[in-house]
Amino acid sequence: MEIDSSLNALFWLKVAISVGCGFIFGIERQLRGKPVGIRTSCMICLGTMAFIHLGLMQSKQDADHIRLLGQIVTGVGFLGGGVIFTQGGLVNGVTSAAVIWLLTAVGAAIGFGHFGVPIALSFIGVGILWGVQVLERGFRGLRRGVHSVRVQKEDVK
């Protein structure tokens, strides 16, 4: 029985960073009661990294890795679309869909072997999610339309 040489230190580093970046997003989403929590965020980031990693393993010279990335982006659109719904005339879940999209970009960057950019994007993304919530609570003018409903529901919790 031969041990798969692709399970090297670089692979495990990619796994750890993918799960870590997914966790960064997931903890923020789960603490706020959003549909894309820790498990889902980790799986999206890890899965995207795995698809890119597998694509790179199969052909290092002739493969069109941009096509692989394009197929992943197309496929994840369906996943993101699944969290968008309407309720009472309001569209909900668009931010969660955007988080799924960004998680995919983070996982892809890790799969391609970039580590600083996806870690930075994870903290920037969560900073935006958290920072805008703080702004919405602090400025009444930002609490209009769907944002007024969301802020009021979150303030009750």
73 within a domain of the structure (yes/no): yes
Whether 2 is in a domain gets the answer no
Is residue 98 included in any domain, yes or no? yes
- Strands (E) in 66-110, as ranges, are 85-87, 90-92
The pLDDT, as a whole number, for residue 106 is 98
Q: State the residue range of the domain holding 130.
A: 9-156
> Is 3 a domain residue?
no
Distance CA 68, CA 24 (A): 26
Q: Is residue 1 part of a domain?
A: no
Domain count, the chain: 1
Place of tokens 């702004």: 135
In a domain, 4, yes or no: no
End-to-end alpha carbon distance in the chain? 55
Residue 36 falls within a domain, yes or no?
A: yes
> What is the chain's pLDDT, residue by residue, as a tens digit (157 residues)?
445 666 789 999 999 999 999 999 999 999 999 889 999 999 999 999 999 998 888 766 656 788 888 889 888 988 888 888 877 777 888 999 999 999 999 999 999 999 999 999 999 999 999 999 899 888 888 877 666 755 445 554 4
For residue 1, the SS3 value is coil
Token couple for 81: 């679309």
Q: How far apart are CA 115 and CA 11, in angstroms?
A: 12
